[in-house]
């Protein structure tokens, strides 16, 4: 009887199983021996630089990890992938990280049943993401982290134990050092990587939100502030406590204004006191933002808040306030309009024209006899001034003509 070399037999068995794996017979992964041999095989290929073969093998194993019906085979497949990923540690390995990220992403989407050993898999996945971030492989990390964020916050699985593991993973990779590095890179000159960096910061929210708000407050570049503001507005979870802290301290006008924009986006009327504190801010841009914030916060007391604000803001801000007031139905507003027309001569020339024109054109006061008398007074006063094409007089005249036509029709 012919004797066979045991080592040659092992090689033949391994080759046969690799053939089966290549043809989609994933049951071979049920063998501990084959999985161990496969891991060693991938390491040897890596040392020899046979990247193409490695990617082909990972592709097949990844199909099993994502699509096989049996969770134990999916687990075996993902352990092979994560074991291989553990040897990656340099910039040269980007294409492997890309392949691993895609496989882990598809696997994570399918994880819906808890099994013993799942925690170990998540520990490995966390280590891989951390390594990607440390190497600044933003695009590869974003692919996977976006899936983690979605799984964590959209409650795609009902098993509490899986949700706990996903949440633990999401918190674990949200390292402050990594988030700072992503923000720093994102705020540099425009580059193709910015798209992935933006998505990555959103995928790390709410853990990245505080850092983005800090960057928003520190940045002296308008474009950077606008970009950060837009990103923070996409995911407002965890924003309020940070805003309240920021608004306690003395800040540059643009920091206060941006905080007010975020405050308004929360849309809670009870937050009004935090906004109203800045109605007397020395910068008119902040005062204008308070007015916009009052609208955004909403609630049943919006009109009263506008009326209170009218007596506090600068005269040039009153124009913006009038635009808002005209949309609300309250007799007190008519009283304010009437008061402005009566005291128009005391207004600064810089805002008098706008205020009088806007109030004159407001249909809500045309029914008041006193307003009609005041409008006629404005026209009469103009006869003693030698000003051609006075926009105020022109606007008032047009209003009076319309009112006269309405009276004739009635």
What band does 315 get if pLDDT is binned at 50, 70 and 90? confident
| Cα 322–chain centre separation | 32
Radius of gyration of the chain (CA): 33
Query: Token match 């406590």: residue?
Result: 241
Return the pLDDT at 380.
80
Q: How far apart are the C-alpha atoms of 234 and 229, rounded to whole Å?
A: 9
pLDDT for 328 equals: 75
User: What does the pLDDT read at residue 407?
Assistant: 59
Residue 386: both structure tokens together: 């030698």
**Average pLDDT for residues 109-135, to the nearest whole number?**
92
Question: What does pTM read for this prediction?
Answer: 0.78
Distance, in Å, from the CA atom of 230 to the CA atom of 23, rounded to the nearest integer, reads: 48
Q: Which residues have C-beta within 8 Å of that of residue 170, sequence separation ≥ 6?
A: 148, 149, 152, 207
Assign 177 a pLDDT band (cuts: 50, 70, 90): very high
**130 and 87 Cβ atoms separated by less than 8 Å:** no
pLDDT tier at 174, thresholds 50, 70, 90: very high
Task: Report the percent of the chain where pLDDT is more than 70.
Answer: 95
The residues, ordered by sequence, that sit 6+ positions from 78 with a Cβ below 8 Å of its Cβ are 65, 103, 104, 107, 121
Give the C-alpha separation, 192 to 196, whole Å.
8
Yes or no: say if 237 and 209 are a contact pair by the CB < 8 Å rule: yes
**pLDDT tens digits, one per residue of 36-64:** 999 999 999 999 999 999 999 999 999 99
- Tell me: the pLDDT tens digits for 255-309? 999 999 999 999 999 999 999 999 999 999 999 999 999 999 988 888 889 888 9
- Closest by alpha carbon to 34, among 85, 76, 81? 76
Whether 203 contacts 237, CB under 8 Å: no
CA 16 to CA 201: how far, in whole Å? 45
Following DSSP, what letter does each residue of 149-211 receive, concatenated?
Answer: HHHHHTT----HHHHHHHHHHHHHH--HHHHHHHHHHHTSS--THHHHHHHHHHHTTTTTHHH
DSSP 384: T
pLDDT for 388 beyond 70: no
């Amino acid at each position: 009887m012919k004797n066979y070399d045991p080592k040659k037999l092992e090689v033949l068995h391994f080759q046969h199983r690799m053939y089966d794996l290549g043809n989609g017979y994933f049951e071979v992964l049920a063998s501990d021996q084959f999985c161990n041999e496969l891991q060693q095989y991938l390491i040897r290929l890596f040392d020899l630089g046979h990247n193409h073969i490695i990617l082909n093998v990972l592709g097949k194993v990844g199909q099993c990890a994502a699509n096989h019906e049996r969770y134990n085979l999916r687990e075996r497949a993902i352990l092979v992938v994560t074991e291989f990923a553990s040897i990656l540690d340099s910039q040269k390995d980007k294409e492997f990280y890309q392949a691993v990220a895609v496989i882990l992403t598809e696997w994570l989407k399918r994880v819906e049943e808890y099994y013993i050993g799942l925690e170990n898999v998540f520990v490995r996945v966390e280590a891989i993401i951390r390594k990607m971030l440390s190497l600044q492989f933003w695009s590869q990390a974003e692919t996977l982290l976006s899936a983690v964020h979605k799984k964590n916050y959209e409650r795609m699985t009902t098993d509490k134990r899986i949700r706990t593991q996903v949440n633990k993973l999401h918190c674990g990779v949200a390292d402050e050092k990594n988030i700072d590095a992503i923000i720093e890179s994102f705020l540099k000159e425009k580059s193709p990587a910015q798209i992935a960096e933006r998505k990555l910061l959103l995928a790390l929210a709410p853990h990245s939100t505080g850092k983005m708000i800090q960057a928003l407050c520190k940045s002296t570049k308008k474009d950077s502030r606008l970009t950060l503001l837009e990103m923070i507005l996409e995911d407002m979870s965890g924003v309020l406590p940070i805003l309240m802290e920021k608004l306690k301290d003395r800040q540059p006008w643009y920091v206060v204004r941006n905080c007010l924009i975020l405050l308004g986006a929360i849309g809670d009327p009870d937050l009004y006191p935090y906004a109203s504190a800045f109605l007397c801010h020395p910068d008119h841009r902040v005062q204008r933002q308070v007015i916009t914030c009052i609208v955004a916060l909403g609630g049943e007391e919006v009109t009263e808040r506008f009326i209170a604000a009218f007596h506090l803001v600068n005269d040039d801000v009153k124009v913006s306030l009038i635009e808002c007031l005209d949309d609300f139905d309250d007799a007190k507003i008519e009283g304010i309009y009437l008061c402005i027309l009566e005291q128009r001569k005391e207004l600064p020339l810089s805002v008098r024209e706008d205020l009088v024109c806007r109030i004159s054109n407001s249909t809500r006061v045309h029914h008041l006899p006193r307003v009609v008398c005041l409008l006629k007074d404005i026209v009469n006063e103009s006869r003693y001034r030698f000003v051609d094409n006075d926009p105020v007089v022109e606007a008032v005249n047009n209003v009076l003509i319309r009112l006269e036509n309405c009276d004739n029709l009635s």
